[in-house]
Amino acid sequence: MSNPRQPLFHLAFPVTDLEQARSFYVETLGCSTGRESDRWIDFNFFGHQLVAHLVLPEDHPAAATNAVDGHAVPASHFGVILDWAVYEEFVARLEAAKAEFVIEPCLRFEGRRGEQTTLFIRDPSNNYLEFKAFRDLDMLFAKDIDSY
């Protein structure tokens, strides 16, 4: 590869209805699609590869939660960390699409090291997604920020 890039992630996840997943990831989140079959769809998720695999509803895992900063955060979730301005634009997109927030956009650690904004939504198959932005991205892996 002559054009070095940061590594990209690939995540395969279960959905119970491919057409509902397509609608949500394309229309609500703004993803484009790639390869697909009658059992799976590739999505371009902010430059990363998500693959929605069709499963029976009884085979879809239930979500447990953990308490984080006063919210019941789904233990199983995925998402991306956006630039602060891009996050704000994305929140506006979700609000315009009348997306239902599991956890409304909120600011954590305001004015402190590790200040971040976050939100949670759920796709039609009850997969949880988190979108966040850090005021200072250097705090992403810092061990000395204020605890959750």
What tens digit of pLDDT does each residue of 68-99 get?
Answer: 888 888 889 999 999 999 999 999 999 999 99
What is the model's pTM? 0.88
Q: Where are the alpha helices (DSSP H) in 7-147?
A: 18-22, 84-96
**Number of structural domains, the chain?**
1
Residue 14 maps to a domain: yes
User: Given this model, what pLDDT does residue 147 score?
Assistant: 54
CATH number, domain of 67, equals: 3.10.180.10
Helix, strand, coil % in the chain, rounded to nearest 5: 20, 40, 40
HSE, side-chain direction, 13 A CA sphere, residue 145:
19
pLDDT(135) > 60:
yes
**If DSSP codes are grouped into helix, strand and coil, which group holds residue 75?**
coil
- List the domain range (segments joined by +) for residue 91: 10-139
Residue 5 maps to a domain: no
What tens digit of pLDDT does each residue of 27-53 get?
Answer: 999 999 999 999 999 999 999 999 999
**If DSSP codes are grouped into helix, strand and coil, which group holds residue 124?**
coil
Residue scoring higher pLDDT (23 or 4): 23
Q: Which residues of 17-46 are buried (b: 16+ CB within 10 A; e: fewer)?
A: ebeebbebbeebbebeeeeeeeeebbbebb
